[in-house]
Chain A
Amino acid sequence: MLEIANNRFPRTPYYLMGIGVVLLLVGSYYGLFVAPPERYMGEVQRIMYVHVPTAWNALLAITFAFVCAIAFLMRSDFKWDARMEAAIEVGVLLAFLLCVQGAIWAKPTWGVWWDWDPRLTTTAVLLFAFLGILALRRFVDDPVKRGIWSAVATIIAYVDVPIVYFSVRWWNSLHQLQSSPDTVSSQFHLPLRVNAFGVLFLMTGFIMLRARLASLRHVSEVAPPPMLAEEAGEMA
């Protein structure tokens, strides 16, 4: 049974990840060596070529997890549970990278590692919320309950994201006005877009691989113990 599951999607994730890596290399080369340095922020600004794609894709991964959660609650098909687990894990990883990149960028630009900017704060809250859901999955042994509970928690946490964003924006704007990084001028578009697709392909590949892993684990979880399976085989 494991072989069948393995052969069903033979190479697609690897092709996607290959395309993603190539695109990331091209985009990063262009961003690092070809695109001109930004006038005010200088060379530091080049981190935007990975930072912005990471942000878009982190949001995309979490949104996909939300869609999977709804699909799982409606269909009770464990395929969606596996995809949700994969999307949350990849989304959490991207959100963590996002916070790290943001801190690396903020230190030379704003002079501090962290700022209570709405986007930054929302990413941190999102990171912790979904880390909590991953922890919940670890602690529940029954696969059905694990699926339903983490789907419910995913929906609740996802609905929270815009509320957090607006509340932090409100909260912070009463203290100080944060100058947000300007919109990107046309010279900087190309590496940004290439990298965005690079991360997208890489992420899709990761999610597919991780979802397959989760499906396989689910199969082995609900499979009868080997002794019983043999007996069933003999009886058939």
Chain B
Amino acid sequence: MIAALRKELLLQWRTRAQFLAVFVFGATALLLFSFAIGPNAADLRKFSAGFLWLGLLLSSTLTLSESFHAEMENRAMEGLLLLPADPRVLYYGKAIANWLQLMVLGIALVPVMVVLYDAGTTKIPMLLVVIALGAAGLSAPGTLYAAMTAQVRSKQTLLPLLLFPLIVPALLASVKATSLLILGDPMGSLGSWLTLLGAFDAIYWALCGLLYGRVVEE
């Protein structure tokens, strides 16, 4: 597992230009969202959490579909499956690597959000927890679906089509939790949203790992 994770991280490090491009894409999306609302600062601040997560979600489809790019070249996937290792190890290696990358992307997009929408918060550690949990919710099913769609025609369309309806609860909880951090939390409901997010993560990290072996088998 460590070796699988190491391979993925090395791969990501070698393609860091790709990461930068995805970040620019996400930042551009954040810039464009504000045009949908108009330059009203209060409105922008109110919707900032939603914009942040939509930006991250749109960027994540690029990251996720790209994450199987190397495996599809020269039939490297078959080579990996021939290794005397459980395919689940490969899945968790890739899912954790994707999770870390999405987390870094999310953290990198926060300053963009703060500057554009004036949506600062003092609860930085809590925000990091929310981003970590939300990115985990995107990464677990996203990695599984990317493994499928990477081998299919028109994968760019199919991945969001499968992933977006599925992660509605995670998106909802992440947006709500982030929004509570930015706008204040008078009813103290942040904990329940984090619980929901944690439950979603637990279910899908377990379920997708279980099913991954069937997806990649020949």
Contact = CB atoms under 8 A, between A and B. Distances in A.
Interface of A: 73, 125-126, 128-129, 131-133, 135-136, 139-140, 145, 148-149, 151-153, 155-157, 159-160, 163-164, 166-168, 170-171, 174
Given A128-B165, A132-B158, 14 more contacts: A125-B165, A128-B164, A129-B165, A135-B158, A135-B162, A136-B161, A148-B217, A151-B214, A153-B145, A160-B166, A167-B196, A168-B168, A174-B187, A174-B189
Chain B contact residues, majority secondary structure = helix
Given A135-B158, A152-B144, A159 B192 contact: no
Nearest to B153: A139
B154 interface: yes
A152 to B, nearest CB: 5
A152 B215 contact: yes
B154 A136 contact: no
Contacts of B217: 148
Contacts of B173: 167
Contacts of A152: 144, 148, 211, 214-215
A136 B158 contact: yes
Interface stretch (B17-25, B59-67, B106-114, B200-208): B200-208
30 contacts: A128-B164, A128-B165, A129-B162, A132-B158, A132-B161, A132-B162, A135-B162, A136-B148, A139-B152, A139-B154, A145-B151, A148-B215, A148-B217, A151-B214, A152-B214, A153-B162, A155-B207, A156-B208, A159-B203, A159-B207, A163-B200, A163-B203, A164-B169, A167-B172, A167-B173, A168-B172, A171-B172, A171-B176, A174-B176, A174-B187
B141 interface: yes
Contacts of A151: 214
Contact of A149 (B141, B187, B215): B215
Contacts of B203: 159, 163
Contacts of A131: 161
Interface residues of B, number: 35
Most chain A CB within 10 A, of B158, B161, B173, B203, is at B161
A157 B196 CA distance: 17
Contacts of B199: 163
B46 to A, nearest CB: 13
Interface in B149-185: 149, 151-154, 157-158, 161-162, 164-166, 168-169, 172-173, 176
